[in-house]
Every structure is written in C-alpha cells, then in structure tokens.
Amino acid sequence: MSSPSVQNILNRNNPLTEGNLSRVAQIDRSMRSSVVFFAVMSALWLVVGSILGVISAIKLHAPEFLNTEAFTFGRSRTLHLNMVAYGWSFNAIFAVSIWLMHRLSRVELRNGWVPILGGIGWNLTLVYGMFAIAGGQMTGVEWLEMPREVAPVLGVSFLLIGLWSVVAFSRRQTTHVYVSQWYILAAMFWLPILYLVAQMMILWFPARGTVQAITNWWFGHNAIGLFLTPVGVASMYYFIPKVLGRPIHSYYLSVVGFWSFALFYNWAGIHHLLGGPVPVWLQSAGIVASVMMVIPVLVTAINFHYTTASAQSWGVVWGSPTLRFTVFGAMNYTLSSFAGSLMALRDVNAVTHFTNFTIGHAHHGMHAFLTMALFGAFYFILPRLTQREWPSAALIHLHFWLCAIGTIGYVVVMSIHGWMQGMQWNAAVMTPAQISAAAQPWNFARTICGSLMTIGHIVFCAHVLWMLVPRAEKRQGPTLFAR
Amino acid sequence: MSPAPVESFWDFSLLGIFLLGFIFLGSAIWALTWSRSSGQFEDLERDSRAIFDADEPEGVVQDRFPR
C-alpha cells in the first residue's frame, strides 16, 4: 500500500476524476466556488479600503488633497474603516471559517449557492452603504456608520453565510471538536447578538443617555474581539501545527485559552470610555476584564511559540508562505493584546486616550495580527481549492515585506507619536495649534507606512486574480507542495 | 401618569436583553457541560492530532514557497 505522501504525488500526476479524488480533495472541491468568491471579494475590498486609508492619511498633512465633498477626512476615514472591517475582514473570515469548519468536520459543503447568495447580498449592501457614507448619509456611530436600513439585509446575509458553518458542524463526521471549531462556532453565535443588540439600542430604539455610548463600545470592541479575533486565532491554531506537521504544544492550554477568552473578552470594551460619564464600577469591570485577557493571550502565545520553536522549525516557518504570515500574525496577536491590556490601565489610558496611540494599537490588532494571519490562511487554502500553484514566489516575498515593514513602521510611528501627543495634551504647555504642527512629520511617516501596506495589498490582490486565470500552472491532488 | 410609548418599549426591550443574556449564559454552561460529558477533555494528546489525516499526515511539512 502506498504511503499517503506518495499517494499525493500520484494524485498530482493523474487527471482529476471523481474516482481518484481523496476525501480531502472532495471536501475542498465542494467548497471551491463559495470560498473563492469570498476570497476574491475580500481582496477587492482590501485594495479599495486601503487606498481610502491612504487618502485619509494624506489629508492630515495636506488638507487640500482631493478636496471634494465625498472625500472629506470624516467621510474618507469612515469609508476606510467600514471597507476594511466589513468588506475585507468579514469576507475573508467567511472564506476561512467555511473552509476550516468543513475541513475539520470532514464533510462536504452542500448547497454552496446559499452562502454565495448571502455573500452577494452582503457585498451589494456594503456597496450601497459605502455610497451612502460618501454621500454624507451616515449615522455618526462608530462601527455602525452605514444607514440603519442596511442592518436587516446584512443580518439576513450573515445568517445565510454563518449558518453554513453551523450546519457543517452539526453534520460532522468526527467525534472530537478541535479547538479551532470551538472558536469559529462561538464567533458565529456571538456576532449576531452583538449586532442585533447594538442596532436596537442605538439606532432603532435608542437607549437614553450614556447607555448608547456603552452599547457602542461594547459592540465596537466585541465585533473585533468576539468575531474577528476568534476566527484569526482558530486559523492560527489550525495552520501552525498543520503546516509544521506537528501537533500543538499543549492542547490542554488551548482549551483553557478558549474558555478564558469566552469569559473575559465580553467585558473589556468599556475601557474605551475610561474617564467618561459612565458608572465607575463599569469602568473598573472593563479594566479588570482587559487585564484578565492576559491569561488567554499568554496561553496562546506559549502554545504557538513552543509549537514553532520546540523542534527548531524556524527554517520551515520562513520557507512557507502560510507560516511566514501566520507566525507574524501570532507574534503580533500577543504583542497587541498585551498592549491593549496595558492601555486599559487608568494611568496609561490618561495619556493614550484621544491620541494616535489608539490608532496604532487598532492597526496592530487588525493588520499586524488579523490581516497577516488571514493572508497566511489564504496562501494555504487557495492553491488547494483552485488546484493551481501560486504563480510567483517573488510576489509573495514582495507582499510579505511591504506589509511587514509597513505595518510595524505604522505601529511604531503611531505609538511614539501618540505617547508624545498625550504628554503634550496633559502638560497643557503647548497650544493645540502647536501640538498639531508638531504632528506633521509623524503624519507624513504615517502616510508612507500606510502606502507600503496598500501596495502590498495590491500585490496580493493581483496575485490572487492571476492565480485564478486559466493560464496559471495547474496541479492536481489534495495537497500542494512546491517541488 | 402613564409612561411615554418609547419608555414602555424600552422597559420591554431591557427585559428582552436580560432574557437574551441569560440564554447566552445558559448556552455557555450547556456547552461546557456537553463537552465534558461527551469526552472532549478525556484524551487531549489524541485530540491535538485531529487535524492530521491520511492525505495530510503528521510529520510532513505541508507548505513551501513555489519555485
């Protein structure tokens, strides 16, 4: 009997027919249309959203740039935020979660048109929402800027997409539930309730007083923490051991990590309102939860580090597109989460609040961690779905370096400047005009770093589209080694 | 004096949110209890290998840069 790896090589040399497809290849094939659809949509949104981010950044040091009503700073920055959050991150997470859940449940995707239908609804609604924002029809509630009429369509679309992960789980052919499945399943339940409550309490039947602000940041922080982050962590828990061919260092710790994550994250969002007119006990609860988040983060960091380092696998990490991006994301998950816990402390928050430090932190989490981890997932998933190798190793290297230098530069620039800004505001020695003038070199550096990331995103998007054209090299088999 | 309609709705929706909160708390407790009773924590060493299979086995690196 042939060994599995030999069988894979044989599969590559044979034409793909139903008869010689392995189980994994059959599962992959069933998901091809749905996952590729979401991957392409996410890449397109990423490019447009990043360009709008650069436009917003340029306006901070050249206010006359693109001086039209639709691209004022207030609108272009909001467009950037919504496009990269709801366009890039959500579409990418739909793709990765559908793929991971079916792979781990060992079941094929049935009725793949349903999530695609949901995806069409999701993306068309986003297009409408973006035009509304550009036209000035926004709510003014951060993370919920799109007009409220988009909510029902986005909600139904999400259910059509997210439900398929739940259906795959319910049909699973395995007895054990892997830790990545826990994270994805929980995320698919957490987000609808967050979105429903936030919409109801802020936009449809507004709560009174500061309850709106509390709900706003409970939603805003948890949309990241209880939807985007869990799928990012699930992806890392799958791809790091999978690509290395070695189980996770301590599965016990991963279970502890999941349950402590589920317990503490929900409370942390209120640290956005420290010093605001909200009950002190609520602020204290937010601080405690933010600090307690050290437990799941530390547990995850230990696991990823020891899995990668225990057998001196750094050469494998560097030689694999998937791991290069994923491990970069894992390291920054640890760093950005620890920074988040520190920023929740009252003394630190008194300096960093209302400064560029917070914006640097947001990019640390959303780009250096999440986006890089999702890139890593796509580098593994797309060749297996399309049966095509990535057309160019050089483009992958270019993509990595542009994004890595851009994102780390951005975080460093914004953190240093944010701290300086906070000290300047608190000292009350300089006038606001002087503080703004002192920010100009930092704002310019911000544009440079943002541009590097954006060029990296364009490279990635072009590479994905190049891979999908029929001329790209076609390979066969359930796994794809570059030989 | 009867409360304004919006306030009545608000009281009602608060009740709904409390109920929702309890349902979610109950779901979390149920999930934890189910995972224990279904043996999810019994053999963690074996469970950590659930991601490997005959097509993508343990001990084989699964991804490299294309040439």
A99 has a pLDDT exceeding 70 = yes
> B57 in contact with A at a CB cutoff of 8 Å?
yes
Contact A246 B58 (CB under 8 A): yes
Percent of chain A scored above 70 by pLDDT? 93
> B22 in contact with A at a CB cutoff of 8 Å?
no
A193 closest CB neighbour out of B20, B39, B56? B20
Contact B67 A393 (CB under 8 A): yes
pLDDT given for residue B18 in this prediction: 82
B17 has a pLDDT exceeding 90 = no
In which band, very low, low, confident or very high, does the pLDDT at B16 lie, cut at 50, 70 and 90? confident
Both structure tokens of A362: 């947001």
- Residue A305 is assigned to a structural domain of this protein: no
Closest CA to A458 of A21, A60, A45, A82: A45
Percent of chain A scored above 90 by pLDDT? 86
Q: Are A273 and A214 in contact (CB under 8 A)?
A: yes
Q: Are A342 and A348 in contact (CB under 8 A)?
A: yes
A482 closest CB neighbour out of B39, B60, B67? B67
What is the C-alpha separation between A424 and A431, in angstroms, rounded? 9
Contact A323 B64 (CB under 8 A): no
Closest CA to A177 of A234, A233, A225: A234
- Residue A53 is assigned to a structural domain of this protein: yes
| Residue in A218, A246, A261, A310 to test binding to B, most B beta-carbons within 10 Å | A246
Question: For chain A, what is the domain count?
Answer: 1
- Residue A73 is assigned to a structural domain of this protein: yes
Percent of chain B scored above 90 by pLDDT? 25
Both structure tokens of A330: 């894992």
Per CB-CB distance under 8 Å, the chain A contacts of B34 are none
Contact B56 A242 (CB under 8 A): yes
pLDDT higher at A469 or A330:
A330
Both structure tokens of A340: 């988040």
pLDDT tens profile B18-32: 888 888 889 999 999
- Average pLDDT, integer, range A430-436: 95
Q: Is the pTM value of this prediction over 0.90?
A: yes
Q: Which domain holds residue A139?
A: 22-175
pLDDT tens profile A193-241: 999 999 988 999 888 888 899 999 999 999 999 999 999 999 999 999 9
Contact B57 A245 (CB under 8 A): yes
> B42 in contact with A at a CB cutoff of 8 Å?
no
pLDDT tens profile A274-310: 999 999 999 999 999 999 999 999 999 999 999 998 7
- Residue A283 is assigned to a structural domain of this protein: no
Per CB-CB distance under 8 Å, the chain B contacts of A389 are 66
Shortest CA distance from A22: residue in chain B: B55
A473 has a pLDDT exceeding 90 = no
Contact A316 B52 (CB under 8 A): no
B17 closest CB neighbour out of A8, A197, A245? A197
Per CB-CB distance under 8 Å, the chain A contacts of B59 are 245-246
pLDDT given for residue A276 in this prediction: 92
pLDDT tens profile A377-418: 999 999 999 988 899 999 999 999 999 999 999 999 999 999
pLDDT given for residue B8 in this prediction: 60
- Residue A109 is assigned to a structural domain of this protein: yes
pLDDT given for residue A183 in this prediction: 97
pLDDT given for residue A330 in this prediction: 97
Per CB-CB distance under 8 Å, the chain A contacts of B17 are 197, 201
Contacts of A269 (CB under 8 A, 6+ apart): A217, A218, A219, A220, A221, A222, A225, A286
Strand residue runs (E) in A39-92: none
Per CB-CB distance under 8 Å, the chain B contacts of A377 are none
- Residue A148 is assigned to a structural domain of this protein: yes
Per CB-CB distance under 8 Å, the chain B contacts of A316 are 61
- Residue A151 is assigned to a structural domain of this protein: yes
- Residue A145 is assigned to a structural domain of this protein: yes
Burial class (CB in 10 A: 0-12, 13-18, 19+), A483: exposed
In total, the C-beta contacts within 8 angstroms joining chain A to chain B are: 121
B50 closest CB neighbour out of A8, A174, A244? A174
Rounded to the nearest integer, the mean pLDDT of chain A is: 92
Shortest CA distance from B66: residue in chain A: A482
- Average pLDDT, integer, range A427-433: 93
pLDDT tens profile A119-143: 999 999 999 999 999 999 999 999 9
Shortest CA distance from A379: residue in chain B: B63
